[in-house]
A and B are shown apart, each in its own frame.
Chain A
Amino acid sequence: MPSLWFVMPAYGRLSLTAICLRQLRRTCDSLSENGIHASAVVIADDANLDVANGLGFATVPRDNQFLSRKFNDGIQLALDRTYNPRPATHVVPIGSDDWVDYRLFLDLPTDRTMVGFQHMSFVREDGHNLTVHQLRYEGGCGIRIYPRNIMATVGFRPADEDRKRGCDTSILTNLKVAGAIRRIEHRPTDPLSIVDWKSPDVQVTTYAEVAARHVSRETFDPFDVLADRFPGEALNEMQAHYGRVAVAA
């Protein structure tokens, strides 16, 4: 039976991360109901680990000095028999502020094919605006599907150990240099299948930078357009997080 682990480094942002972790639990359960045994590993050194444990996810205690090292820890725990007697067949790096539609992962790649997604949505820091974007570069966003044998080529630790940012690029670059990837497949998807919930306490002018750099289409209210795609309880939680009054269905 194929299996998949999401690899999620987390740091602070306890309220937002908890909402995303609960939604990830639902995503994993939906995958398991559809024949793909799914779970996640959270790499952190704060209360995010408690939330992850409570949801039945794997955990790795690691400080936040180097983000790339946290990704490596999670990928290695997922795939390396030294630590996991039942390694997963695939891994998907994911951010602690991302939601993903489980249907993106029903068709898992084989051999040495990496799957990437070039369409996704970003929600503005105040929660009032969602914009869909096409990321016109190789690999698309950092949420990619890697088969286990690709990661085995680099000892299950694909990123440079000392990066604080740009980890998705580091992973892809190192895998290509090692000859681990035979093909990169960009799957056309509905951009509402991947949602990045921006936070005002982390980045500066992030949403505006995204809008300036990438092909953007018209904007929407996130809680209207996502209503048919993600569970109402998750949307209500997120709406409350942004301080917006939830509209009764």
Chain B
Amino acid sequence: MTQHGRFEVVGSFRFRGHEIGEQFEAKVTPQIERAVARRNIVCLELITPRVPDGFRLPRGWLDE
């Protein structure tokens, strides 16, 4: 699974549609790495995106 991270937009420019101060999750790509190097964004943590807890399967889906 490709590495993902949670990032925050800092500095003077919006980044990929995210406002300054906004946090987002994204795959770590060369573009992301350059943005971190320029301090357009900062990496808060590395993560693995997943289905959140509390999900439900369809009623009776596993019974058939």
Indicate yes or no for A touching B, C-beta below 8 A: yes
**Which residue of the partner chain A has the closest CB to B26?**
A162
A53 proximity list for chain B (CB < 8 A): 56
How many angstroms from the CA of A157 to the CA of B51 in the assembled complex? 10
How many angstroms from the CA of A160 to the CA of B31 in the assembled complex? 13
How many angstroms from the CA of A41 to the CA of B45 in the assembled complex? 29
Are B49 and A58 in touch, CB under 8 angstroms? no
**A-B pairs under 8 A by CB, number:** 66
B61 touches which of A39, A72, A162 (Cβ 8 Å): A39
Q: A162-B16, A162-B24, A164-B17 are in contact. Are A39 and B58 (CB under 8 A)?
A: yes
9 further A-B contacts with Cβ under 8 Å, apart from A69-B49, A72-B49, are A58-B56, A60-B51, A60-B52, A61-B52, A73-B55, A161-B26, A162-B17, A162-B26, A163-B17
Interface residues on chain A, number (Cβ under 8 Å): 30
How many angstroms from the CA of A168 to the CA of B15 in the assembled complex? 20
**Which residue of the partner chain A has the closest CB to B25?**
A161
How many angstroms from the CA of A37 to the CA of B1 in the assembled complex? 30
The residues of B with any CB-CB pair to A shorter than 8 Å are 1-2, 4, 16-18, 24-27, 49-52, 54-62, 64
List the one stretch of A81-89, A90-98, A221-229 in contact with chain B.
A81-89
Distance in Å: Cβ of B9 to nearest Cβ of chain A: 11
How many angstroms from the CA of A143 to the CA of B22 in the assembled complex? 30
**Which residue of the partner chain B has the closest CB to A42?**
B56
Are A161 and B24 in touch, CB under 8 angstroms? yes
B25 touches which of A37, A80, A155, A162 (Cβ 8 Å): A162
Are A59 and B49 in touch, CB under 8 angstroms? no
How many angstroms from the CA of A57 to the CA of B18 in the assembled complex? 32
Are A83 and B55 in touch, CB under 8 angstroms? yes
**Which residue of the partner chain A has the closest CB to B16?**
A162
- Type the 1/0 row for A82-123, where 1 means its CB is closer than 8 Å to any CB of B: 011110000000000000000000000000000000000000
Are B51 and A83 in touch, CB under 8 angstroms? yes
A40 proximity list for chain B (CB < 8 A): 58
Distance in Å: Cβ of A114 to nearest Cβ of chain B: 21
Distance in Å: Cβ of B57 to nearest Cβ of chain A: 5
How many angstroms from the CA of A1 to the CA of B27 in the assembled complex? 35
**Which residue of the partner chain B has the closest CB to A72?**
B49
Q: Does A181 contact B (CB under 8 A)?
A: no
Distance in Å: Cβ of A187 to nearest Cβ of chain B: 26
A56 proximity list for chain B (CB < 8 A): 58-60
B49 proximity list for chain A (CB < 8 A): 69, 72, 157, 161
| 7 interchain residue pairs of minimum CB distance | A56-B59, A162-B24, A39-B58, A161-B25, A60-B55, A61-B54, A58-B58
How many angstroms from the CA of A242 to the CA of B17 in the assembled complex? 33
- Type the 1/0 row for A139-170, where 1 means its CB is closer than 8 Å to any CB of B: 00000000000000001010011111000000
